[in-house]
Structure 1
Amino acid sequence: MQIRYLLALSLLPQLVLAEDSTQTIDAGLQCIVEPPVPRLSSTSDDQTALEQQEIRIISNRSEAEMGKQATFNGNVLFSQGQRHIAADEAILDQKNERLDANGNLIFQDQMITITADSLIAEMRSNSASLWGAQYWMHGQQIHGDAEKLEITSDNNLHLTKTNFTTCPPGDTSWLLEAETIKIDSTEEWGELWDAKLKIGGVPVFYIPYMTIPVSEKRKSGFLFPELSTSTTNGVEIATPYYWNISPEYDLTLTPHYMSSRGLFLKSDFRYLAGESQQGQLNLEYIGSDKMLTDSPDRYLYHWEHKGAINENWRVMANFTNVSDNNYFNDLNSDVQRATDNQISRIGEISYFEQNWDVTARVQNIKVLGGDEKPYQVMPQIGLNYRAPDFWNGLDFGLTSEASNFQHEDSSFTTATRLNFEPSISYPIHGPAGSLTSEVKLLQTYYWQDVNESNGNDELASFVNRTLPQIRVHGQVNFERFTDYFNENYRQTLEPQFQYLYVGYEDQDDIGIYDTAMIQDDYFGLFRDRRFSGIDRIADANQLTLGLTTRLFDEHNVEAFKFSLGQIYYFEDSKVGISDPLVPSSRLTQENTSNSVLAAELSTKLYKDWYVSGAIQYDTKQSENKKSEMTLDFRPGANKLLQFSYRYVPDLLNSNTNESVNISQAGMRGAWPISDSWYVVGNWYYDLNESRSVETYTGFQYESCCWAVRLSYHYRIKTNYDDNFNPVLDNRELFESGFYLNFVIKGLGGSGPLGVSDMLNDGLFNYRKPLYLKN
């Protein structure tokens, strides 16, 4: 028969260990190791405090002498809250407050399962010892053996002659053996003494002392080194050290040695400022670059900060500076990619209310490797106000700004600009479509520092520009049910139009401070501006017509989308970007009856084949102004083949002020060779120059407990005219190199290696066709 005892004694302290943050990224790996023992019965999570303290004892047979000793035999189960012990036999010494249990012993709580040969629990000291123990952390991969396992009175765990791994049982890909392991349940970190790391059963590393995480809590220590080799940097090895300064601050120091250049030092300091603000400070330095003759010090410093002061105030700052133009091209910075040639420095503070907001900002942009030096915004103050449905369905809006433009070159004009854009609109929305009518006034004032000695006498010292704008935009939604290729679909037909009128005013007496052309595409046909910024507002008297059709399958997933549109000009635009102080600037006003014909397509061709493309075609000159297309084959997780092509004629190179044609074809792929092996590669070819611009091949093996990746890069290398001399004349146009990444999961590595970051590792990132899903 079963005997039940209810005792008001504390059995064992609960060991609190948070779950490991290591997770597998790629589908197909089932890595959670569960203990090969049955889950003991548990009580409800919403127990009362008294029920949490009660000990329930169930057994087949029992003998007890009041106040002395009780013996339990056969399927013994001790329970206290979420903690359970199962054994064949147990003896409870009530006088000495001691519990002895043995035979098929299992200890479980919410976080850990332990099997052991025997157990002794001391009630007075609130501690327990288990011999011949095996343990498993719930919901994690961590498990191991211990000759002796002790649960101390302060809830810590001590293991003697022990080991652990994150590999499945029977897999000895890696195993860490230690004489002693102590796990602090408060700090949630483990300390190891006299440890040996075995890979494939072979000892490869002896560690007198080390610490390991058993939760997401941070702790100081070395991270896994990174090893690579390349034609420009030689053999590279980086050994990051992480310093957990406090809960609000941490610092990563990375000595990065390059055999061809020297020692490159990097630091990344992160901080929290209260509950809603955070930031980081990066410092990088190489004292003498051996690749450069008489190299000066090369350095970077970067600071960024963002967050909310309270529910209304927001702040943001971002500042970066480098020693030379080729810094990002030559060195593996943690701040910016080599393909970026602009450094933006911004400081901003904003205040938000329900119907209005105000923002103050300063901005400076540094262009690397070119003669272009943009204006500095010092400062800019913007005020926006919104009053929806303020009278009989009318919406009122106001955007305004006051900007001061400075330039480091004294020959350039400085200016102050004040702009107001009040608008009244009447929106009508419904399931069948929408119609929005808007009237806007564009009022701008300029105060320009005109200095005839600097050659800027063509500009006016004061400009008052007033332009009216009328915009009417409408769209109708039709839909029907149809079938194609024996599949049922819901098809939509969405014609739309926009009439836009903007008044004309000669603006050649205004300098160009923050204005440039906007890239054309289908959605750009329905903008009310041709330029970014407001130094030039193009006059317009035009009608835009567009049509979009979509197909949705039975699961309401978009399987096809096609858009086609064009602008028809009733009058030629007379305003373009032409800065009288910059001879290389190009006149860009429209002198044609219509714009380019813009079309975009996204469709699922058949099963796992997808096509995405866009084109801007000049119907008057019969010229292709821009086109791009991708063909994707995506049959499953981490399976991808993509073929792409893009063509852009007359693209202005900001560094040389010369026009170039871009005509590039490429292919990219990722494929699993098995459940653990993946191969990723890409190849891009410049059809104009008849040369490869990037090649990437990567092989990756990933199991539940370790991962390794070997990759090869060959890519074009940007080289700028630098601001120090002399520079080696043989600066390479192309760079190639091998890179090795290795992670042992569960030992504080950087986490599992994923296929997604391999697809994005290069000059050209993988882009999935828009609006379409597998």
Structure 2
Amino acid sequence: MHIRYLLALILLPHLVLADELDRTVDADTQCLVEPPVPIPAANSADVPLDLQQIQIVSDTTEAKLGDKATFTGDVTFSQGGRHIAADNATLDQANQRLDADGNLVFQDSMFTVTADSLSAQMRTNRAELSGAQYWLHGQQIHGDAEKLEITQDNNLHLTNTNFTTCPPGDTSWLLEAETIKIDSTEEWGELWDAKLRIAGVPVFYLPYMTIPVSEKRKSGFLFPLFSTSTTNGVELATPYYWNIAPEYDLTFTPHYMSARGLFLKTEFRYLTGEAQQGGVNVEYLANDNLLTNRSDRYLYHWQHKGAIDDNWRVLANFTDVSDNNYFNDLKSDVLRATDNQLSRIGEIAYFENNWDITARVQDIKVLGEDESPYQVMPQVGLNYRSPELWSGLDVNLLAEASNFRHKDNQYNSANRLHLEPSISLPIHGPAGSLTSELKLLQTNYWQDTDNKPNSELASTVSRTLPQVRIHGQINFERYTDYFNVNYRQTLEPQFQYLYVGYEDQSQIGIYDTSLLQDDYYGLFRDRRFSGLDRIADANQMTLGLTTRLFDEHNRETFQFSIGQIYYFEDSKVGLIEASQPNQYFQQENTSNSVLAAELNTQIYNDWFMSGAIQYDTKNSYNKKSEVTLDFRPETNKLLQLSYRYVPDLINSNTNESVNVSQTGVRGAWPISDNLYIVGNWYYDLNESRSVETYTGFQYESCCWALRLSYHYRIKTNYDDDLEPTFDDRELFEHGFYLNFVIKGLGGSGPLGVADMLDDGLFNYRKPLYLKN
């Protein structure tokens, strides 16, 4: 018998819980715990719940108007996306009370509860379920409760309850509590008499604790980190997160090192309006026990960026440390040991459609260097663009005014004004492109040389250089096959003619200029130096060729580029002029540049290779080369072999040139569905020694994760005024690191293979960057 009632009442309020964890998609899909009953389809989603139609279906019913109605046999109550199923139910219309029992299930689109019995007061929107089991749809959280009560305010009270994120039957971890109260508005829970069990063994007890039950932030301790190393000893870090306000938060981390002492780290983050954000880091280690004079060590860092409105942008970045070896000795949250430059920048910019203007100040502190770069105090730049101003001509203007100062008074200061108007005619089509460009480079210097050792510099300099650049490319393509596979092959020859006038620039100081790196794409630049203090004269032609292979799905599987510059005249401008030869920047007279080539290819199926070389064809000399071979059959499976060679690399501490010849092996492979290993080994062929070894094992299940790793790596040690008597710093450091995370209690666990591949001096980079 089917009976329908049209009643304007609410069945049961519900509480939506959400796990606070950020998870990877593949782990979520495999680990989601779903209730053992289907979710009914919602209807009338746009209609308020209290006005939606209630449907009651049962095998038999007995009803008296205005009194009670009794339903038996496959009873279902439905209202929109809510659903109650039971063997028996009684509806007391006079007292607006609903009682149900027997295979009872309460369910909506987000939440499912099975229970022995249900008692609901519809007038007050309260409900109580006994012997309950609950699940959160699309998440891992589920548990049991002796009594589950839904209050009038849509809050949830559970008595003698527990929850876990492990699959049913898996008791890897279980959190038990005498009482749990979950606030549906604040979306956090209070636990009384909480006890954590791991593999059935109680390991942790708290009389009171709070936990987040959604993506909303909640103050509390994060999971501790444990490690050991030869330099810092036993390390234990216990981060505490403080959710100060929606737009502010702070993480405070006491980090104890048995060999050094207590290292305190604080990170404060903030939001300013909807489009600006920033953060402040303060780190402090008092009386470092490894230093004989027990010096205090510190760091402070501030960064800020964002948009003031549609046109204005701001940027600020400032970092300072107590000593040169701060990042080498301590695990900072700001920079890594391989970073030796501290950038201090303040910038404000205004953007319009065709022009923008930027003002900035900049100071760079180089750790371990006796000499420091110039400060930019300030620099104002203007960039104007007028595309297709007349007959397809593009007109541009770059203007820059800079003031350079140095902390050391023996160095001169300078003001520089640079104007760079240009006219270009770009012609683009499917068959190729041709761009002709004419520039005028006008630079004026005003240099303070009074009582400075660089007396050879002129007090004023005006430099005017014309520049002509013509760049063209032709696109050929054909359909062919290799090894019985069909491909579309392209052939893309390109050329560039570059002419830049010459002026003697020996009376200009070096303020922000350095030699640029040579590679294939660098052959087509119009500058040999960064900055503006040296603009090399040029009368040269660059020839290059690129060929690509695209498969039947239009995926690029092969790319090879080769090119070289041919000089019609020798360049006369170097960082140091010919009259002052220098082994690092000496200008060599030659008829052509290095031959630069690059290769990226998918060799076969899951095998990939990339390589690059810069070869001096005149002297038959390899100036730089690198090659990597990857085997990547699927996600989280990797085997990589690599080699790199860089001759005449300058050691900044000794000013001596050294040859770098290193080979490496890197791998990541799952041992089972839950256990995988990542390792790498890099070896210096010249020094006949390992420079880095890393091995990491990670076990990750649906509800907990464990990572054990071992590091052996070279340390970069600088001369340091902080501790002149401490000269026995270790050249190599090795240690063990342990991370253990219970998912669902404040952490999502190790991030996986990609995270471990990046944990070292040599970060992993895929060797194939092909266009799709």
Letter in 2 for 1:31: C
Contact 2:364–2:375 (Cα < 8 Å) also in 1: yes
Q: Does 2:476 correspond to 1:473?
A: no
Contact 1:20–1:214 (Cα < 8 Å) also in 2: yes
Greater CA drift, 25-34 or 487-496: 25-34
Contact 1:55–1:80 (Cα < 8 Å) also in 2: yes
Change (3 A) 1:509 1:586: farther
Name the residue aligned to 1:281.
280
Contact 1:19–1:139 (Cα < 8 Å) also in 2: no
The alignment partner of 2:42 has SS state of coil
Per-residue CA distance 1:427-463 (angstroms, 9 max, x = gap):
0111111110000110101000012x32221111111
Name the residue aligned to 1:610.
608
Q: Does 2:134 correspond to 1:128?
A: no
- Aligned counterparts of 1:376 and 1:315: Cα–Cα separation in 2: 19
Per-residue CA distance 1:93-121 (angstroms, 9 max, x = gap):
11111110111111112221111111011
Letter in 2 for 1:418: L
Q: Does 2:277 correspond to 1:242?
A: no
Q: Map 1:382-397; keep pairs closer than 5 Å.
A: 382-397=381-396
Q: What displacement does 1:752 show?
A: 4.0
Q: What displacement does 1:725 show?
A: 3.0
Name the residue aligned to 2:431.
432
Name the residue aligned to 1:56.
55
Contact 1:26–1:638 (Cα < 8 Å) also in 2: no
Q: What displacement does 1:213 show?
A: 1.6
- Aligned counterparts of 2:347 and 2:639: Cα–Cα separation in 1: 43
Name the residue aligned to 1:147.
146
2:755 equivalent among 757, 765, 774: 757
Q: Does 2:14 correspond to 1:21?
A: no
Give the gaps of 5 or more residues in structure 1: none
Name the residue aligned to 1:291.
290
Name the residue aligned to 1:190.
189
Name the residue aligned to 1:739.
737
Name the residue aligned to 2:570.
572
Contact 2:21–2:747 (Cα < 8 Å) also in 1: no
Contact 2:559–2:770 (Cα < 8 Å) also in 1: no
The alignment partner of 1:692 has SS state of strand
- Aligned counterparts of 1:204 and 1:30: Cα–Cα separation in 2: 28
Greater CA drift, 113-122 or 746-755: 746-755
Contact 1:604–1:772 (Cα < 8 Å) also in 2: no
Contact 1:28–1:675 (Cα < 8 Å) also in 2: no
Q: What displacement does 1:584 show?
A: 6.6
Per-residue CA distance 1:477-514 (angstroms, 9 max, x = gap):
11111111111111111100000000001000000000
- How many percent identity over aligned positions? 77
- Aligned counterparts of 2:402 and 2:588: Cα–Cα separation in 1: 28
Contact 2:647–2:659 (Cα < 8 Å) also in 1: yes
Q: Map 1:483-494; keep pairs closer than 5 Å.
A: 483-494=481-492
Contact 1:511–1:579 (Cα < 8 Å) also in 2: no
Contact 2:4–2:54 (Cα < 8 Å) also in 1: no
Q: What displacement does 1:386 show?
A: 0.3
Q: Map 1:685-700; keep pairs closer than 5 Å.
A: 685-700=683-698
Name the residue aligned to 2:35.
35
Q: What displacement does 1:183 show?
A: 1.0
Contact 1:709–1:741 (Cα < 8 Å) also in 2: yes
Q: Map 1:62-461; keep pairs closer than 5 Å.
A: 62-451=61-450, 453-461=451-459
1:649 equivalent among 647, 650, 661: 647
Letter in 2 for 1:134: Q
Contact 2:9–2:50 (Cα < 8 Å) also in 1: no
Q: TM-score, normalised by structure 1?
A: 0.98
The alignment partner of 1:763 has SS state of coil
The alignment partner of 2:507 has SS state of coil
Q: What displacement does 1:661 show?
A: 1.2
- Aligned counterparts of 2:288 and 2:748: Cα–Cα separation in 1: 29
Greater CA drift, 65-74 or 348-357: 65-74
- Aligned counterparts of 1:571 and 1:723: Cα–Cα separation in 2: 48
Per-residue CA distance 1:656-678 (angstroms, 9 max, x = gap):
33222111100100000011000
Letter in 1 for 2:156: L
Q: Does 2:622 correspond to 1:624?
A: yes
- Aligned counterparts of 2:15 and 2:352: Cα–Cα separation in 1: 48
Q: What displacement does 1:773 show?
A: 8.8
Greater CA drift, 194-203 or 428-437: 194-203
Contact 2:291–2:726 (Cα < 8 Å) also in 1: yes
- Aligned counterparts of 2:577 and 2:253: Cα–Cα separation in 1: 46
The alignment partner of 1:592 has SS state of coil
The alignment partner of 1:121 has SS state of strand
Q: What displacement does 1:76 show?
A: 1.7
- Aligned counterparts of 2:585 and 2:61: Cα–Cα separation in 1: 99
Change (3 A) 1:750 1:238: farther
Letter in 1 for 2:390: W
Letter in 2 for 1:12: L
- Aligned counterparts of 2:250 and 2:423: Cα–Cα separation in 1: 52
Contact 2:398–2:421 (Cα < 8 Å) also in 1: yes
Give the gaps of 5 or more residues in structure 2: none
Letter in 1 for 2:761: L
Q: Map 1:539-618; keep pairs closer than 5 Å.
A: 539-578=537-576, 586-618=584-616
Greater CA drift, 730-739 or 205-214: 205-214
The alignment partner of 2:708 has SS state of strand
Q: What displacement does 1:609 show?
A: 0.8
Q: TM-score, normalised by structure 2?
A: 0.98
- Aligned counterparts of 2:630 and 2:430: Cα–Cα separation in 1: 34
Per-residue CA distance 1:195-225 (angstroms, 9 max, x = gap):
2111111111122111122111111111111
Q: What displacement does 1:605 show?
A: 1.0
Q: What displacement does 1:19 show?
A: 5.0
- Aligned counterparts of 2:577 and 2:324: Cα–Cα separation in 1: 26
The alignment partner of 1:575 has SS state of coil
Task: Name the Cα RMSD after superposition.
Answer: 1.7
Contact 2:44–2:52 (Cα < 8 Å) also in 1: no
Q: What displacement does 1:750 show?
A: 4.6
Contact 1:448–1:460 (Cα < 8 Å) also in 2: yes
Contact 2:243–2:249 (Cα < 8 Å) also in 1: yes
Contact 1:225–1:240 (Cα < 8 Å) also in 2: yes
Q: What displacement does 1:72 show?
A: 1.6
The alignment partner of 1:525 has SS state of helix
- Aligned counterparts of 2:625 and 2:262: Cα–Cα separation in 1: 45
Q: Aligned residues, how many? A: 772
Name the residue aligned to 2:534.
536
The alignment partner of 2:153 has SS state of coil
- Aligned counterparts of 2:20 and 2:235: Cα–Cα separation in 1: 31
